[in-house]
Amino acid sequence: MVHFLVLLLAATCLLNGQTANRPEERLITLSQEIAALKTAIESSRIEQSRLLILLAKVQSQHQLVRSLSKRLENTSDELRRTRTEITKFEEQIQSLNHQARAVGDNERRIELERRAQETQAALSTHKLTEGELKDRFVRAESSLRVATERSQELDRSVEAAESDLVEQSARLRK
């Protein structure tokens, strides 16, 4: 590759009419230009490597955002189901209490009151679950927001790195 670059530079100099007075000067100039090209190519390779690493980070971050979104969605669904069950339990308790007051048979009234107490216990358990789900939802929502912001930062970094790489490539072509 170095030989190709030497020939390319020599041809460019000759075509542009830039001949040095002495062969030694021409050789020094060509050597300097080759060294500059090597440096530019190496810099470009480093930037490409950085971009690939950055792209891997972006991919990982996007996967995290998808995972957190799914977790938030699942928590939301579970919270909605729990709230629906709480409403049903509350309606059952009201109905059982109303039936217990309306019934004349003492044994039947005691049975209805016992079922109302059992339903109340289930309701209490569901309300605790609802509180835990609310907390989990808030944490998941916060985690998703942070991950999304980080994802957006990485996207901007990729765009900047791509722009830098395009500029370096254009400079190498000149």
**What are the tens digits of pLDDT across the range 95-123?**
999 999 998 889 999 999 999 999 999 99
57-85 pLDDT per residue, tens: 999 999 999 999 999 999 999 999 999 99
| Contact (Cβ atoms closer than 8 angstroms) between residue 165 and residue 54 | no
Number of domains present in the structure of the chain: 1
State the burial class of residue 133 (Cβ atoms within 10 Å of its Cβ: 0-12, 13-18, 19+). buried
What is the separation of C-alpha 23 from the centre of its chain, rounded to a whole number of angstroms? 58
Output the domain CATH number for residue 24: 1.10.287.1490
The predicted model scores a pTM of 0.68
Q: Alpha helices of the chain — where are they, by DSSP H?
A: 2-15, 23-102, 106-173
132-174 pLDDT per residue, tens: 999 999 999 999 999 999 999 999 998 888 888 788 777 767 6
**How far apart are alpha carbons 154 and 160 in whole angstroms?**
10
What is the separation of C-alpha 115 from the centre of its chain, rounded to a whole number of angstroms? 49
Structural domain including 36 reads 2-173
CA atoms within 13 A on the CB side of 77: 6
Higher per-residue pLDDT: 39 or 120 = 120
> Apex CA 108: angle with CA 105 and CA 111, to 5°?
150
**How far apart are alpha carbons 137 and 79 in whole angstroms?**
8
Q: How far apart are the first and last CA of the chain?
A: 18
